[in-house]
C-alpha cells in the first residue's frame, strides 16, 4: 500500500514539532545566557559597534584637531600681522629718534670738551653744508645774536673744524680747515716744528714751511701752535699721512681728524684766545672733621 508524503510544514504534527524545537532552543539559550541575558546582548552590541565607534571617535578627533589647527593658524597670522605692524612702527620711531639721539650724544661729548677747556665756549648747530661746492663751508644757526665775530675758531671733540668766515644777524659761515684758502698755525707733536696748514679739500691738508732737516713720521699727531691767535696751543688738528722731500721744505700731507661732513654741533672759541690754555686748578674735597666722642 503506497504511503503519500504528508505536508509537514502545514500539518498539525509539523507545527507541534516546530513548537517543541523552539522551546528547546529557547531553553538552551536561557541555559546558555543565564538569568540576565541583557548584559550579553549589550556586550555583543558593544563588540559589534566598537569599530564604528572608534572610527567615529577618530573622525571627531581629526575634525577637532583640524579646527584647532585652523584657529591657531588664524591666531598666528593675526599675531604676526600685529607684530609686523608694531615692528614697522618701532622702526619708524627709531628712524625719527636717530638724529635726536646722535645730536644728544654729540651734545654730551661737547659738554665734556667744554669742561676740559676753561674758556667761554659757545655752542651752535650746523644747519646746512656747502662743502661739495668750490670754497664751500658749513652754515651755523647762530650769528650776531650770539655775539659771534669773524675769525673765531670752531672745534668738535675730534679736533678743529675751521674758523668763522662771515657772520650775519642770525647765521654764520665756517671756513673749513681743508678749504684751499684756509690756513691754521700748527706744530708737530714730536719735534715741535711749526708750520702753516693749508687745505687740500676732502678732509686733507698740507703743512708748509717744514724744513728738510726735520724728521717727520707718518702717523704723527699735528696740533695747533697758537701763533695765529685763532686757536690756543695744543688742540688736535689731524695726523700725518704722507711725507716727501722737496727742494727747500718737506711736503707733509695731513688727514684732518674732525669729521667735517658729519659735524652737527660745534663749539666756538672766543675771539683771540690766549696762546696757551692751562687747565683750571680744582681744590681737593675736604672731609668734614669728626667731633670727639662721635662714631
Query: Angle CA(21)–CA(22)–CA(27) in degrees, nearest 5?
Result: 100
Percentages helix, strand, coil for the chain (3-state, rounded to 5) are: 35, 25, 40
23-52, pLDDT tens digit by residue?
A: 777 767 666 666 666 666 667 667 777 777
Does the pLDDT of residue 21 top 80, yes or no? yes
CA distance 152 to 218: 30
pLDDT of residue 35: 62
**What is the mean pLDDT of the segment spanning 161-173?**
95
Mean pLDDT is lowest, of 46-55, 76-85, 242-251, for: 46-55
The set of residues, in sequence order, having a beta carbon less than 8 Å from that of 207 and lying 6+ positions away, is 186, 188, 195, 196, 197, 198, 222, 250, 252, 254
pLDDT of residue 116: 82
* Distance in Å from the first CA to the final CA of the chain: 150
**What is the mean pLDDT of the segment spanning 57-80?**
84
Q: Which of 15, 106, 3, 187 minimizes the C-alpha distance to 197? A: 187
pTM for the predicted model, two decimal places: 0.63
Amino acid at each position: 500500500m503506497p504511503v503519500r508524503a504528508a505536508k509537514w510544514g502545514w500539518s498539525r504534527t509539523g507545527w507541534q514539532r516546530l513548537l517543541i524545537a523552539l522551546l528547546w532552543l529557547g531553553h538552551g539559550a536561557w541555559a546558555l545566557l543565564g538569568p540576565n541575558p541583557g548584559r550579553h546582548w549589550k556586550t555583543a552590541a558593544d563588540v559589534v559597534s566598537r569599530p564604528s565607534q572608534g572610527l567615529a571617535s577618530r573622525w571627531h578627533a581629526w575634525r577637532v584637531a583640524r579646527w584647532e589647527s585652523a584657529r591657531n593658524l588664524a591666531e598666528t597670522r593675526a599675531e604676526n600681522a600685529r607684530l609686523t605692524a608694531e615692528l614697522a612702527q618701532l622702526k619708524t620711531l627709531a628712524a625719527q629718534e636717530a638724529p635726536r639721539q646722535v645730536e644728544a650724544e654729540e651734545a654730551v661729548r661737547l659738554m665734556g670738551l667744554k669742561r676740559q677747556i676753561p674758556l667761554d665756549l659757545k655752542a651752535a648747530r650746523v644747519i646746512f653744508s656747502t662743502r661739495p661746492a668750490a670754497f664751500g663751508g658749513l652754515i651755523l644757526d647762530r650769528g650776531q645774536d650770539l655775539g659771534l665775530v669773524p675769525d673765531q675758531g670752531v672745534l668738535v671733540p675730534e679736533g678743529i673744524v675751521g674758523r668763522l668766515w662771515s657772520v650775519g644777524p642770525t647765521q654764520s659761515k665756517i671756513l673749513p680747515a681743508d678749504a684751499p684758502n684756509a690756513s691754521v698755525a700748527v706744530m708737530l707733536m714730536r719735534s715741535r716744528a711749526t708750520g702753516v696748514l693749508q687745505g687740500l679739500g676732502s678732509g686733507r691738508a698740507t703743512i708748509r714751511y717744514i724744513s728738510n732737516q726735520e724728521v717727520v713720521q707718518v702717523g704723527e699727531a699735528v696740533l695747533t701752535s697758537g701763533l695765529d691767535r685763532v686757536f690756543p696751543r695744543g688742540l688736535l688738528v689731524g695726523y700725518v699721512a704722507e711725507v716727501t722731500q722737496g727742494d727747500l721744505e718737506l711736503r707733509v700731507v695731513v688727514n684732518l681728524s674732525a669729521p667735517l661732513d658729519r659735524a652737527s654741533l660745534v663749539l666756538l672759541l672766543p675771539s683771540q684766545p690766549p696762546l696757551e690754555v692751562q687747565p683750571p686748578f680744582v681744590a681737593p674735597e675736604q672731609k668734614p672733621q669728626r667731633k670727639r666722642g662721635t662714631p
